[in-house]
């Protein structure tokens, strides 16, 4: 079946005309995946819906294709496995393994190793379907986790992590190398499973936005907006126009905050401490200006159901606009310095390369995808108001190396400064919040927002008593962590920190 036929079968999600819901059969499941891939689409997320032990399971997949988001649902009999699609979309492999760990739904995939469990609970316990959130007492047996071995003369392994220096979260990296050249990297993540998806089910839906903002702290605005978008769809709530503009303002502020931090850190990883110093200065000054305008340095609880927790005054808006205009000028000057510094260019150019062809096969998305020629950006492709009125300019490169990912950051920083200027110039009068209403029960809604790293997507189901029955937040790192394994092949081990930072993927958003 051609993709157009699948899209014709879908029904629009309430409040989100470009998200189509589609019920499929078991035979359709893999056929749809192949048709989406054949049409140049990609897998956005995959998860098991609300269910209880011994009951039928509902499996969902979200795809983006042909300018639409397609939400596919498959009903499985109790105990049945889910047809694996990792051969079509490689990133599905880890999503399927997480589904087995958390919901007890196995897949037909060959790789059934645990992904999030890490002996924190026995294989028979599944946190999202068992009546109790706590595993049985006793110490579970440690799994014999088999890493893929590379054989050959002179090949040896370097094991890095899971405990790292500093304050970064745990992740294990197993390098197979000859000399200093990387032949293979295999990651293992999920060491500090936080239980966020189970915690959602203890909350009223109207309170869940605060937890969503803490899925991955550097994407608080993106996840809280995606959660509220899904909730407001269930409530049939129309957000005030001023609130929509303020949400876009906060999202672009979050993008700038992260790009300033990363550009400094990437300069430092290349041995250019001047870059770290200058971008740290710019970030601190920007954070102070954001706090003066919006009352918070980091906007964890700015986006709330029905709109925004706070507005912005005329003076604060003007001062923020003036600051951002000056920030754009300084950032352009620093880009010229990075571009012309021979030592920096030597470290950036050609390192950690993912060609456009390989990036598409791996399903690379977000900022990293745009650096490899994949021009997907939901602000332009699946825009939430007011982005359809702002003329978002996508930042796209095609060399797929560290230099390209740095360039995309610089270009997106400039674009965010331009968008903030437009938003503040056009900011309408009116309320910044309305009563959100009561969410409809036993329906699925999906919120989709382009965060700084890539699409932050939240699927939400609400019970009749207003409690969350299932909430699945999805960080783009699920797609991009496996791609990092390919990006380092052929590079030397000392370049891994630089390559890793150029992706800057989330451990926290992967560890729910």
The strand pairing partners of 9, in sequence order, are none
Nearest residue to 502 via CA among 409, 415, 436, 376: 409
CB under 8 Å to 500, separation ≥6 — which residues?
484, 488
pLDDT value of residue 201: 94
CA distance 499 to 368: 11
For the stretch 474-505, pLDDT in tens is 999 999 999 999 999 999 999 999 999 999 99
Task: Give pTM, 2 decimals.
Answer: 0.96
CA distance 503 to 188: 17
Kindly state the tokens that stand for 147: 């890493």
Q: What is the DSSP string of 277-299?
A: HHHHHHHHHHHHHHHHHHS-SS-
Query: Does residue 476 contact residue 455 with C-beta atoms inside 8 Å?
Result: yes
CA distance 480 to 402: 14
CA distance 44 to 54: 28
Low-confidence ranges of the chain (pLDDT < 70): 1, 14-17, 52, 54
Q: Where are the domains of the chain?
A: 1-146, 150-192+478-512, 238-434
What SS3 class is residue 63?
A: strand
* Segments of 49-179 assigned E as strands: 57-65, 68-76, 155-160, 172-178
pLDDT value of residue 293: 97
| Other beta carbons less than 10 A from residue 502's beta carbon | 27
H/E stretch holding 468 reads strand 468-474
Query: Does residue 192 contact residue 511 with C-beta atoms inside 8 Å?
Result: yes
Report the residue count for the chain: 512
pLDDT value of residue 427: 97
pLDDT value of residue 50: 81
What SS3 class is residue 462?
A: strand
pLDDT value of residue 16: 61
For the stretch 140-198, pLDDT in tens is 778 788 998 888 889 999 999 898 877 788 899 999 999 999 999 999 998 888 899 99
Distances (CA, A) of 220 to 114, 252, 299, 486: 28, 12, 7, 29
* Neighbour-count burial for 124-137, b at 16+ CB within 10 Å, e otherwise: ebbbbbbeeeebee
For 1-146, CATH number?
A: 3.30.460.80
H/E stretch holding 478 reads helix 477-487
| Other beta carbons less than 10 A from residue 314's beta carbon | 9
Between strands 68-76 and 16-24, the pairing is parallel
Kindly state the tokens that stand for 111: 């790789």
CA distance 262 to 12: 38
H/E stretch holding 100 reads helix 92-103
CA distance 272 to 444: 48
* CA geometry: angle 11, 45, 231, nearest 5 deg: 60
Distances (CA, A) of 205 to 120, 151, 229, 436: 28, 52, 12, 11
The strand pairing partners of 178, in sequence order, are 155, 181
CA distance 308 to 293: 14
Query: Does residue 106 contact residue 81 with C-beta atoms inside 8 Å?
Result: yes
* CA torsion, ordered 279, 282, 287, 290, to nearest 10 deg: -130
| Other beta carbons less than 10 A from residue 450's beta carbon | 28
Largest Cα–Cα distance in the chain?
71
Nearest residue to 463 via CA among 200, 205, 76: 205
Exposed (0-12), middle (13-18) or buried (19+): which is 110, by Cβ within 10 Å?
exposed
Kindly state the tokens that stand for 22: 């589609």
DSSP label at residue 326: H
Query: Residue 490, by phi and psi: left (phi above 0), alpha (psi -120 to 50) or beta?
Result: left
Candidate CATH numbers 3.90.1150.10, 2.60.120.10, 1.10.645.10, 3.30.70.3270; the one for domain 238-434: 1.10.645.10
Residue ranges of the alpha helices (H) in 186-313? 196-200, 208-212, 220-235, 241-269, 273-294
Fold of 150-192+478-512: Enolase-like; domain 1 (3.30.390)
Kindly state the tokens that stand for 429: 């009068």
Phi, psi of 145 (to 5 degrees): -80, 115
């Amino acid at each position: 079946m051609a993709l157009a036929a699948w899209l014709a079968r879908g029904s629009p999600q309430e409040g989100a005309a470009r998200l189509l819901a589609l019920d499929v059969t078991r035979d359709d499941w893999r056929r749809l995946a192949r048709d989406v891939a054949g049409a140049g689409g990609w897998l956005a997320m995959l998860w098991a819906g609300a269910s209880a032990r011994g009951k039928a399971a509902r499996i969902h997949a979200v795809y983006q294709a042909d300018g639409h988001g397609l939400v596919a649902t498959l009903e499985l009999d109790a105990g049945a496995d889910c047809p694996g699609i990792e051969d079509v979309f490689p990133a599905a492999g880890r999503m399927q393994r997480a589904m087995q760990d958390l919901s007890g739904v196995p897949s037909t995939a060959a790789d059934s190793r645990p992904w999030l469990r890490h002996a924190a609970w026995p294989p028979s316990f599944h946190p999202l379907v068992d009546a109790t959130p706590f595993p049985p007492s006793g110490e579970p047996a440690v799994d014999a986790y088999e890493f893929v071995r590379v054989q050959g003369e002179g090949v040896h392994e370097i094991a890095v992590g899971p405990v790292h220096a500093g304050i970064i979260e745990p992740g294990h990296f197993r390098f197979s190398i000859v000399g200093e050249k990387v032949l293979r990297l295999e990651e293992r993540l999920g060491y500090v499973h936080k239980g966020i998806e189970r915690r959602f089910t203890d909350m009223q839906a109207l309170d869940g936005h605060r937890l969503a903002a803490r899925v991955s702290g550097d994407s608080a605005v993106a996840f809280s907006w995606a959660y509220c978008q899904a909730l407001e769809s269930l409530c049939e709530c129309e957000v005030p126009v001023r609130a929509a503009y303020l949400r876009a303002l906060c999202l672009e502020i979050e993008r700038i905050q992260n790009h300033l931090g990363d550009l400094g850190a990437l300069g430092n990883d290349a041995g250019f401490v001047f870059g770290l110093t200058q971008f740290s200065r710019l970030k601190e000054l920007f954070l102070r200006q954001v706090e003066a305008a919006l009352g918070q340095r980091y906007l964890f609880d700015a986006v709330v159901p029905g709109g925004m927790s706070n507005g912005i005054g005329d003076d604060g808006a003007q001062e923020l606009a003036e600051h951002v205009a000056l920030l754009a000028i300084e950032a352009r000057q620093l880009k010229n310095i990075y571009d012309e510094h021979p030592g920096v260019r030597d470290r950036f150019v050609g390192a950690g390369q993912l060609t456009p062809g390989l990036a598409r096969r791996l399903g690379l998305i977000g900022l990293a995808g745009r650096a490899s020629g994949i021009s997907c950006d939901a602000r332009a492709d699946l825009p939430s108001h007011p982005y359809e009125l702002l003329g978002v300019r996508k930042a796209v490169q095609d060399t797929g190396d560290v230099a390209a990912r740095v360039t995309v950051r610089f270009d997106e920083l400039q674009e965010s400064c331009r968008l903030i200027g437009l938003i503040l110039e056009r900011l309408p009068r009116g309320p910044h919040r309305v009563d959100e209403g009561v969410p409809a029960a036993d329906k699925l809604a999906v919120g989709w927002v382009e965060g700084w790293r890539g699409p932050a997507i939240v699927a939400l189901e609400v019970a009749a008593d207003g409690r969350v029955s299932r909430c699945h937040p999805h960080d783009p790192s699920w797609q991009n962590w496996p791609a990092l394994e390919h990006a380092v092949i052929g590079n030397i081990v000392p370049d891994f920190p630089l390559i890793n930072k150029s992706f800057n993927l989330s451990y926290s958003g992967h560890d729910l």
